[in-house]
């Protein structure tokens, strides 16, 4: 179990208890976090669940794999902390994770 | 007027549910023509998750999207469906004799007694890149595909993307463009390594430009593009551009279906749960595109809908003919149709 905080583009903070093994995208959808669309349903095929991992968490979360990096080409305003939230699996070390929702999805 | 292809049933969408509809309709001797905007069968299964396992197809504990489509194609083989790929259905009208006239963009026209919409999430269309104000240039300076290469002759062309489409068009248009700039977010490309090598060689020879970054702003007036600003961590680069070709993948849009006079419910087509018929008799909707109370967007639900729809379609195509319900396991007449008896 891990607590995840989604910071929306207008500064709202939404805290969610997430089960290990679920994805950061799934928890956003289940809790109706605005700004995460996940058009493809988590297949790493659309880049509409794009988030910025908070700077403090970048190293713990880690780097995207090649397929995700490819898909990030289609996202809006990609930064060094960009990840697709469907590819971040919740685990104990991520307790307290903060992700920021971009201004818009692609 | 073009000669129309006459058939029993036109199926719009060649995803898993559209494919299985061929089987159910085929058991009742109904001939099908399928139209899809993609270049191969399978819809979302092949476009979004060809290598991902699906776990809820009855009898298959795990099967990939691509495998399921292969097996469906094998299963419907005996019914010889005809496919029309890379075509979008643009118009659907009822003719005076009560049949339907189905028109495609720059493709064949069909006349059918029944139309089955199995269009899933709508048609896959090129994704608009997230650049503010880009809409104003679409169709005049910004294009999502190349219809005629001549439109790019002597132009300052900017291609955006790092996949095969972006690289292929870079190599094809570079010789005829006045200048060509390829913009990609990073220095790694998804495209075939050979294309990347050839592109890099052109850059080295000074014949084109590669800019790493993301397009952040466009400059121009009245739909006439003059330049684009590319942003990267080092700063901004402005490039003179008169034609832009962004390749940002595909997204699903309802598209022209909205113009066919059907009742819609939040971009879905309401149907009854006996025949899966729309508000227009003779037009059915099955799979993810339809809506009814309790609807679940599952492939298996679409298969069920196809089976019931086929009964109703048969009644329209051969009115008055008695419909005998039979099992493929025991019916020799069905087995003959399947080529196994």
Chain B residues within 8 A of A104 when measuring between CB atoms: 130
Q: Pick from A40, A45, A73: which is nearest to B185 by CB?
A: A73
Determine the average pLDDT of the residues in B18-41.
97
Cross-chain Cβ contact A78/B185 below 8 Å: yes
Least confident window among A26-35, B172-181, B243-252: B243-252
Among residues B170, B247, B169, the alpha carbon closest in space to that of B207 is found at: B170
Sorting pLDDT into bands at 50, 70 and 90, what band is B249? confident
Tell me the two tokens of residue B29. Answer: 């001797």
CA B13 to chain centre: 7
Nearest C-alpha neighbor of B44 from the set A105, A49, A43, A69: A43
The whole-number average pLDDT for the span B265-281 is 95
pTM of the model: 0.81
**pLDDT of res. B107:** 83
Interface probe, candidates A47, A74, A104, chain B, greatest B C-beta count within 10 A:
A74
Give the per-residue pLDDT at B47.
Answer: 87
**pLDDT at res. B81:** 97
What's the rounded Cα separation, in Å, for the pair B291 and B293?
7
Percent of chain B with pLDDT over 70: 99
Question: Which pLDDT band, with edges at 50, 70 and 90, does B252 fall under?
Answer: confident
pLDDT exceeds 60 at position B322: yes
Q: Give the pLDDT of residue B8.
A: 98
pLDDT at A66: 87
> What pLDDT does B132 receive?
87
Fill in the DSSP letter of residue A97. E
DSSP state string for B47-76:
HT-TTSEE--BTTBSSEEHHHHHHHHHHHH
Q: What is the DSSP letter of B31?
A: -
CA atoms within 13 A on the CB side of B130: 15
Q: In which band, very low, low, confident or very high, does the pLDDT at B130 lie, cut at 50, 70 and 90? A: confident
3-class SS letters over A38-90 = CCCCCCCCCCCCEEEECHHHHHHHCCCCHHHHHHHCCCCCCCCCEEEHHHCEC
Q: Is residue B1 pLDDT above 60, yes or no?
A: no
| Cβ(B214)–Cβ(A77) below 8 Å | yes
Which residues of chain B neighbour A72 with C-beta distances below 8 Å? Answer: 185
Q: How confident is the model at residue A104 (pLDDT cuts 50, 70, 90)?
A: confident
- Domain positions in chain A are 2-100
Residue in B44, B51, B43, B8 with CA at minimum distance from that of residue B26: B8
Task: Choose among A16, A6, A23: nearest CA to A68.
Answer: A23
Q: Which domains does chain B have, with CATH numbers?
A: 5-125+251-337 (3.50.50.60), 128-248 (3.50.50.60)
Q: What is the mean pLDDT of residues A58-62?
A: 96
Residues of A in contact with B214 (CB under 8 A): 77-78
Q: Which CATH number fits domain A2-100: 3.40.50.300, 3.10.20.30, 3.40.190.10, 3.40.50.9100?
A: 3.10.20.30
> ipTM greater than 0.85, yes or no?
no
| % residues pLDDT > 70 (chain A) | 100
Q: How confident is the model at residue B129 (pLDDT cuts 50, 70, 90)?
A: confident
Instruction: Find tokens 């009855």 and name the residue.
Output: B58
């Amino acid at each position: 179990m891990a607590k995840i905080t989604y910071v929306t583009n207008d500064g709202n903070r939404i805290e969610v208890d997430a089960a290990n093994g679920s994805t950061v995208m799934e928890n956003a959808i289940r809790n109706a976090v605005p700004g995460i669309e996940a058009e493809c349903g988590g297949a790493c095929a659309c880049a509409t669940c794009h988030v910025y991992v908070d700077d403090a968490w970048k190293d713990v979360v880690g780097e995207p794999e090649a397929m995700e990096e490819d898909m990030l080409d289609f996202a809006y305003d990609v930064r060094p902390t960009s990840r697709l939230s469907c590819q971040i699996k919740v685990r104990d070390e991520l307790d307290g994770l903060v992700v920021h929702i971009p201004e818009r999805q692609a | 007027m073009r000669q129309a292809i006459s058939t029993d049933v036109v199926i719009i969408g060649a995803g898993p549910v559209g494919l299985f509809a061929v089987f159910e309709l085929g058991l009742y001797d109904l001939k099908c023509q399928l139209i899809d905007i993609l270049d191969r069968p399978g819809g979302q299964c092949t476009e979004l998750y060809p290598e991902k396992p699906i776990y809820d197809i009855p009898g298959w504990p795990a099967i990939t999207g691509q495998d399921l489509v292969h097996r469906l194609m094998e299963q419907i083989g005996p019914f010889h469906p005809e496919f029309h790929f890379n075509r979008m259905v643009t118009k659907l009208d009822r003719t005076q004799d009560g049949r339907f006239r189905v028109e495609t963009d720059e493709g064949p026209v069909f006349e059918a007694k029944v139309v089955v919409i199995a269009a899933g999430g709508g048609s896959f269309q090129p994704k608009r890149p997230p650049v503010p104000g880009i809409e104003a240039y679409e169709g005049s300076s910004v294009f999502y595909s190349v219809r005629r290469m001549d439109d790019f002759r002597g132009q300052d062309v900017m291609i955006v993307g790092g996949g095969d489409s972006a690289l292929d068009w870079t190599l094809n248009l570079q010789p005829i463009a006045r200048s060509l700039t390829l913009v990609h977010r990073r220095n790694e490309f998804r495209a075939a390594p050979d294309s990347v090598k050839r592109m890099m060689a052109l850059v080295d020879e000074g014949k084109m430009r590669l800019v790493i970054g993301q397009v952040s702003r466009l400059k121009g007036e009245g739909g006439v593009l003059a330049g684009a600003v590319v942003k990267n961590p080092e700063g901004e680069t402005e490039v003179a551009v008169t034609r832009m070709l962004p390749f940002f993948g595909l997204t699903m849009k309802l598209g022209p279906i909205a113009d066919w006079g059907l009742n819609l419910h939040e971009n879905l087509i309401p149907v009854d749960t006996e025949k899966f018929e729309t508000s227009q008799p003779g037009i059915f909707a099955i799979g993810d595109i339809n809506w009814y109370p309790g609807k679940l967007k599952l492939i298996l639900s679409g298969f069920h809908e196809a089976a019931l729809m086929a009964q109703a379609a048969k009644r329209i195509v051969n009115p008055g003919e008695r419909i005998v319900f039979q099992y493929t396991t025991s019916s020799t007449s069905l087995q003959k149709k399947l080529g196994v008896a």
